[in-house]
Structure 1
Amino acid sequence: MFPSRLAALATALLFLAGPAAAEFRGHGGPVRALAILEDGAAAVSGSFDQSAILWDLRSGEARSVLRFHEGAVNAVLALPGGRFATAGEDGRIALWQPGGGQPLQVEEAHKGPIVGLALSPDGGRIASASWDGTARLTPLSGGPARVFEGHQGQVNAVAFMPDGRLVTAGYDATLRIWPAGEGAPAIRTLPTPLNALAVGPGGEIVAGGADGVLRLLSTEDQALTELDLQTGPILAISVAPGGGRAAVALLRGAVALVDLGTASTAARLVGPGLPVWSLAFSQDGAEILTGGSDRLVRRWNARTGEHIGPVVMMRPPELNAVAGSERGAEVFKACAACHTLTPDGGNRAGPTLHGVFGRRVASLPGYNFSPALKQLDIVWNAETISKLFEIGPARYTPGTKMPEQTVTAEDREALVRYLEKATR
């Protein structure tokens, strides 16, 4: 019997053994990354709280909490032999063995945050995507890495074609398919910055970005099919192991289950309405794990879209700082992944915003700001915060780690009013 079938059988037996935990609690920040390990009995998650957690899928309990990275853990990856990898804001890739408190191996891979990992079809190489503008191919057995350059800005996602070619997606709105050997990539320019990428077992490419449109490229002629999900930016994509269906995570809190053959929405996973950052299918494709801004790992029936167990509506305390459902609080949901508002909220991937009005940029004690930010002459107030989201962080605060984003004039005004009250 093939290893993949053994893993699927183990997963099925695991879930038939009795009621399984429906929600996993342990992270102190949004759950940025998810992967189910080779045996199907455990999963690993990464969070903006700078930790990774190894979970027992049967009990829902944390087998171990791993604190190694200096910054948010943005990507995790299952590896052969039960191992796994984590990567994050510090530009490092760490390889782990379950039960170990320290990494087996550490790769100083990138000069900027790593936001995506993928495993080659032969199981021997890890691909990484970074905001330093490059992708990298690292052999697990050691030896020199291959660096892929060409994207104009952040590389946000990587995936492998079945034949071993690497696909990258970036903020420059391009998909690039790199040859196995030397040579220039095939480049496909799309209408929007790209955040997420997956490749199906038949070689179909699935990409999503800032405009909320899922784009499907066929294997042979790269014909483009579009599906407008109409719910804001796409944050993550996962294709079921057998193909045919993809799960698409959305900033506004839903997950769309998409039939790839018909390019239609088959079902929607409806949670507490907070951004969903990460997805992982079980090996048999029957279940989906999701991680979001409510700091929980949730499990869902992948065929019906139903939550396993009751949906608990958890909201981070910073979203309750101002009562009511005003527009500014809705806009801030996208910021809550990285920033807190309350005096005891502390720092996450970004500094706390408590007391931000009247504070000079990069001056908050206890947070590691980049040298470039410390050179800027900006004091945060209604005008400067609005300007940040009018022209985007990359132009207004060069050197920042913030994701690139702009906000409409109406939403900027609402956000500033909200922050003025919530950060006092």
Structure 2
Amino acid sequence: MQRLLQSLLVCLIVAAPIGAAAQQFTTMKGHGGPVMGLDVNQSTGQVATASFDNSVGLWQNRAARWLEGHDAAVNTVLFLGPDRAASAGDDFAVILWDLASGAASRLTGHKGKVVALAQSPDGAVLASASWDGSIGLWSLVAPDRAPRFLTGHEAGVNAVAFSHDGTQLYSASADGTIRVWDIADGSSRILTNQGFGVNCILLGPDGAWLAYGAVDGVTRVIDAENGDQLADFSLERRPILSMDHHPATHQLAVGDGHGYIMIIDTARWQIARDFRAMRRGPVWALAFSTDGQTVLAGGLEDVAYSWPVSLLDEFDPAGGAERSFLRDPDEMPNGERQFMRKCSICHALTPPPSRKAGPSLYNVFGRQAGTLPGYRYSETLAGSDIIWTDKTIDALFDSGPDHYIPGSKMPMQRITAPNDRQDLIAYLRRATAPKQEN
């Protein structure tokens, strides 16, 4: 009975405040796609979420306020103080947000998706990690100043962290290395070579240790100066995708691809809890509440969750409610299956408005591309003369959006079999048709 009541809280409690008194399983619902990033404002306790739906959500008092400005999925969000934040995404951009007015300042220069951000201890510099292999250094006191870019990794950069005196920067890369950079002259050295891609790093509060998680499931703590191993918490789960640390309570949270959150006691270097958080992994985003009593997580579902740390062992995994893009494809007719695989995570079939990354497909047949009111189209698609018909939808998936409409925000994907394309079109004809009123 206790587990049943706790499971029901998932559906009944929406976006409860995350503070010292939070002692229940809470959910933050409203995004139109997976939750890729999380942060908690240490000054106000406000929660920010970054989503595949191209938006940032600001959560407080059971409601979300949406920051819209990215042209693709938002991978990470970071509070820069009580009234500022930064976000970054698949559109290669970093955006600075004035939280009072919602005004946005767009920082450009990267040539690949931006997946992580870090602020220097003095608050003056923002570092960005990009899959173009570079690290961007942006002035927060003079945003118009040209950025610096640090290069040296041989693959995409996944994470960055400043040293406590701000003179050095740690970076982790898909090339398997963690580097230490001298901010003044841009030189770097390899701290450790993991061999497999390193997804996340976290520097301890005294700067003596650095924790990292890798593609092969390795979770290690090393000396931040010489790279010597201090502890190993690797389990039979991979990849490691997210980390957060709460210094006052000595808790290090680690999220992986199987939906687990491991809580490590950094005072004793022991695993304190190991919790199956998500019924359907992965755990892409993690953050502690300001008091460390609550841990928040985001992943494949369009919901962010939080749990009281002290009660983690008493909860069943989250994600029991069925999401359309998570349904078993073997249970669907072929046309619906093609839609779920290729379209459903970005597009709704219901009338607008929609919080998904792409425009609603409701009544799409006969519509001119780039004309649905309220959706921010790319310049390429907004100026297109394409009319969506059986023929143009077939051509779109035959050659792929990147060839059919070069420069659009639609992802690179094809449906090569003609019968699969025809089944998809037939399904869309039925599913997007305007509903007859009684």
TM range (shorter): 0.7 to 0.9
SS at match of 1:192: coil
Written as runs of structure 1 = structure 2, the 5 A alignment for 1:96-175 is 96-103=97-104, 105-142=105-142, 143-164=145-166, 165-175=168-178
Amino acid in structure 2 at the alignment position of 1:162? H
* Residue of structure 2 equivalent to 1:91: 92
Q: How far apart, CA to CA, are the structure 1 residues paired with 2:265 and 2:305? A: 22
Counterpart-to-counterpart distance in 2, 1:337 and 1:194:
29
1:213 to 2:215 alignment = no
Distance across 2 between alignment mates of 1:294 and 1:372: 19
Aligned CA distance change for structure 1 residues 273 and 153 (closer, same or farther; 3 Å): same
Name the CA distance, whole Å, in 1 between partners of 2:219 and 2:271.
11
Residues 336 and 184 (structure 1 numbering): CA distance in 2 closer, same or farther, change over 3 Å? farther
Alignment partner, residue 287 of structure 1: 294
Letter in 1 for 2:154: Q
CA distance in 2, matches of 1:253, 1:13: 22
Residue matched to 2:12: none
- Find the aligned partners of 2:46 and 2:33 in 1 and give their Cα distance: 21
Q: Structure 1's 363 and 77: CA in aligned 2 closer, same or farther, altered over 3 A? A: closer
CA contact (8 A) 2:84 2:97 kept: yes
1:236 aligns with 2:242: yes
Task: Report SS of the residue matched to 1:28.
Answer: coil
CA drift of 1:140 comes to 0.3
Contact kept? 1:246, 1:257, Cα under 8 Å: yes
1:317 aligns with 2:324: yes
Root-mean-square deviation (Å): 3.9
Give the SS at the match of 1:163: coil
Shift in Å, 1:172: 0.4
- Please name the residue that 1:359 is paired with: 398
Q: 1:356 to 1:268 in 2, by over 3 A?
A: farther
Question: Where does the alignment leave 5 or more consecutive residues of structure 1 unmatched?
Answer: 1-11, 325-334, 382-418
Q: Deviations over 1:130-177 (max 9, x none)?
A: 011100111101133221101111111111121221111111001001
Matched, 1:45 2:49: yes
Q: What is the match of residue 406 of structure 1? A: none
Greater CA radius of gyration, 1 or 2? 2
| Cα distance change, pair 304–109 in 1 and its aligned pair in 2 (3 A) | farther
> How does 1:200-349 map onto structure 2 within 5 Å?
200-203=204-207, 204-224=209-229, 225-242=231-248, 244-271=250-277, 272-306=279-313, 311=318, 313-323=320-330, 340=345, 344=349, 348=357
Q: Give, in angstroms, the shift of residue 36 of structure 1.
A: 0.8
Aligned residue type for 1:300: W
Identity %: 30
The count of residues paired between Structure 1 and Structure 2 equals 356
The answer for unaligned runs of 5 or more in structure 2 is: 1-16, 332-339, 362-392, 418-423, 429-438
CA distance in 1: counterparts of 2:81 and 2:244, whole angstroms? 19
- Tell me the equivalent position of 2:375: none
Cα distance in 1 for partners of 2:212, 2:66 equals 32
Task: Return 212-221 or 300-309, whichever deviates more.
Answer: 300-309
Q: Does 1:186 align with 2:192?
A: no
> Which residue is 2:40 aligned to?
36
| AA in 1 matched with 2:39 | A
Question: Partner of 2:248: helix, strand, or coil?
Answer: coil
Distance 1:336 1:78, change over 3 A: farther
Q: 1:144, 1:216 → 2: CA distance? A: 35
Q: In 1, distance between residues paired with 2:346 and 2:287?
A: 30
Conserved 8 A contact 2:295-2:306: yes
| Residue deviations 1:202-223 (CA, integer Å, cap 9, x gap) | 2221111211110211234421
**Deviation of the 1:197 alpha carbon:** 1.4
TM-score relative to the length of structure 1: 0.73
- CA separation of 1:339 and 1:311: change in aligned 2, threshold 3 A: closer
Partner of 2:334: none
TM-score by length of 2: 0.71
Work out which structure has the larger RCO, using CA pairs closer than 8 Å and 6 or more positions apart in sequence. Answer: 2
Task: Report the alpha carbon displacement of residue 19 of structure 1 after superposing the two structures with TM.
Answer: 6.8
Per-residue deviation, 1:108 = 1.3
Q: Pairwise mapping of residues 397-416 of structure 1 onto structure 2 (< 5 A)?
A: none
Q: State the distance in 2 between where 1:373 and 1:37 align.
A: 36
Distance in 2 between residues matched to 1:358 and 1:179, nearest whole Å: 47
- The Cα offsets for residues 179-210 of structure 1, whole Å up to 9 and x where unpaired, read as 13215212021121111111121222111121
State the secondary structure of the residue aligned to 1:152. coil
Q: SS in structure 2 opposite 1:151? A: coil
